[in-house]
Every structure is written in structure tokens, then in C-alpha cells.
């Protein structure tokens, strides 16, 4: 497994070692015994999967404490542009964004620690997006940042006139106009 430093503390891209042969491929998508030496001890408790069509944009979402979530995200099939925003108020990279193309072919994953808003847009005809969470979802603790916030200036690498958003995502506030994420509560 290759760990790529993103330049933002605690945020990593992971390239697993993929074994290909004429029958297909095999790779280890997660191994708890190897994580502490590279990233952190993360007790994942929930797995989620989403199927979406081209242009579907989900995000930018987060959970506030005590239901904050770290995530290990990947694409099973298709291609997405995966985007995170550091929303930790005391972080020197507060408001900084990072994006990576995750595909079923490149097998890259991203570890998104607590304190980040997360989202993605589907670039292929369809995509299956899978992720592990280290805490359970709580509707009462969900938050979000508007995907096209001028302050963030995210290049979604997609025609924004053609994105499909949920009603919830259409009404998310910009980064500067909501209660800041707090790591302790």
C-alpha cells in the first residue's frame, strides 16, 4: 500500500497494491493491522454504498460531534471526482480543498478524517461509491457546505449547469455562514 500525503494534515490518498492476472485482480482494500503504522487506528463501524448516474453531485457533507465521522472512501466501478474541505476551525488549512479522481480502475482510496466536509460528482455514466465510517450516522448531527461556494472555488471538472443535486444539497449554506465544526463538544 502506498500512502500519498495531500499537504493537509491527517488527509491521505491510498494506492493499494493490486495483483492482476488473466483471471482478473485482487487487492486488499483495508487491513486494520497495517493502518496504525501509516495513518491511525480507526475503528470503522459502518459501511455505505451509493449508486449514481453521471452528473450526480453529493455533498459537501459532514457530521458534527459527538457523531463526527472519519471515512475511507473508494469507487467500486465508474469514476468520480472526490472533494474534501478542511472545516476544522483551528487548522492552518481551514477552508482548503483537496480533490482526487477515484475510479474502479485506479483503485485509489482517500482517508477523510473527522473535521472535513466531503462530496463527489460522478464523471462516468454510472458509479458505485463505497465508504467506511468510524461513527454512526445521525440526522440530528448532519451539516453541509454548498458545493459551489465562491469562497472555496472548487473545480469540479464537470459542467455545473448539468449537475444533479438533492433538495437538501441545493439549500446548504456557504462555508462562512454556518456554525463552525468543533472537534470537541
Strand 109-112, strand 18-21: pairing: unpaired
**Is 185 inside a domain boundary?**
no
**Is 183 inside a domain boundary?**
no
Predicted confidence at residue 2, as pLDDT, reads 87
Strand 109-112, strand 12-15: pairing: antiparallel
Residue 100 pLDDT level (bands cut at 50, 70, 90): very high
Q: How does the average pLDDT of the chain come out, rounded?
A: 91
Please report the DSSP string for 99-165 in residue order. EEEEETTT--EEEE-TTEEEEEEE-SSEEEEEEEESS---GGGEEE--TT-TTT----SS-GGG-B-
Predicted confidence at residue 24, as pLDDT, reads 87
pLDDT at 12 over 90: yes
**Is 35 inside a domain boundary?**
no
98, 120, 131, 181: which one is catalytic?
A: 131
User: The domain containing residue 14 runs over which residues?
Assistant: 2-26+44-177
Q: Is 118 a catalytic residue?
A: no
CATH number at residue 92: 2.60.120.10
**Is 33 inside a domain boundary?**
no
% of residues, the chain, pLDDT over 90: 76
Predicted confidence at residue 49, as pLDDT, reads 96
Rounded to the nearest 5 degrees, what angle is found at the Cα of 124, between the Cα atoms of 58 and 47? Answer: 50
Q: Is 61 a catalytic residue?
A: yes
Domains in the chain, number: 1
pLDDT at 35 over 80: no
Considering the entire predicted model, what is its pTM? 0.90
**Is 56 inside a domain boundary?**
yes
**Is 54 inside a domain boundary?**
yes
Beta carbons of 109 and 13 less than 8 angstroms apart? yes
Instruction: Write the pLDDT tens digit of every residue in 145-167.
Output: 999 999 999 999 999 999 999 99
Amino acid at each position: 500500500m502506498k500512502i500519498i500525503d495531500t499537504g493537509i494534515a491527517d488527509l491521505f490518498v491510498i494506492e493499494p497494491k493490486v495483483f492482476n492476472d488473466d483471471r482478473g485482480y485482487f487487492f486488499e482494500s483495508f487491513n486494520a493491522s497495517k493502518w496504525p503504522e501509516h495513518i491511525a487506528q480507526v475503528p470503522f463501524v459502518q459501511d455505505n454504498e451509493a449508486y449514481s448516474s453521471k452528473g450526480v453531485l453529493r455533498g459537501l457533507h459532514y457530521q458534527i460531534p459527538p457523531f463526527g465521522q472519519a471515512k475511507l472512501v473508494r469507487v467500486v466501478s465508474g469514476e468520480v471526482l472526490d472533494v474534501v474541505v478542511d472545516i476544522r476551525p483551528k487548522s492552518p488549512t481551514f477552508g482548503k480543498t483537496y480533490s482526487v479522481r477515484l475510479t474502479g480502475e485506479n483503485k485509489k482510496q482517500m482517508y477523510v478524517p473527522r473535521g472535513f466536509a466531503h462530496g463527489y460528482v460522478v464523471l462516468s455514466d454510472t458509479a458505485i461509491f463505497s465508504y467506511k465510517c468510524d461513527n454512526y450516522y445521525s440526522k440530528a448531527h448532519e451539516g453541509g457546505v454548498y458545493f459551489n461556494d465562491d469562497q472555496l472555488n472548487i473545480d469540479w471538472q464537470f459542467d455545473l449547469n448539468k449537475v444533479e443535486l438533492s433538495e437538501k444539497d441545493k439549500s446548504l449554506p456557504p462555508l462562512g455562514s454556518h456554525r463552525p465544526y468543533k472537534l470537541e463538544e
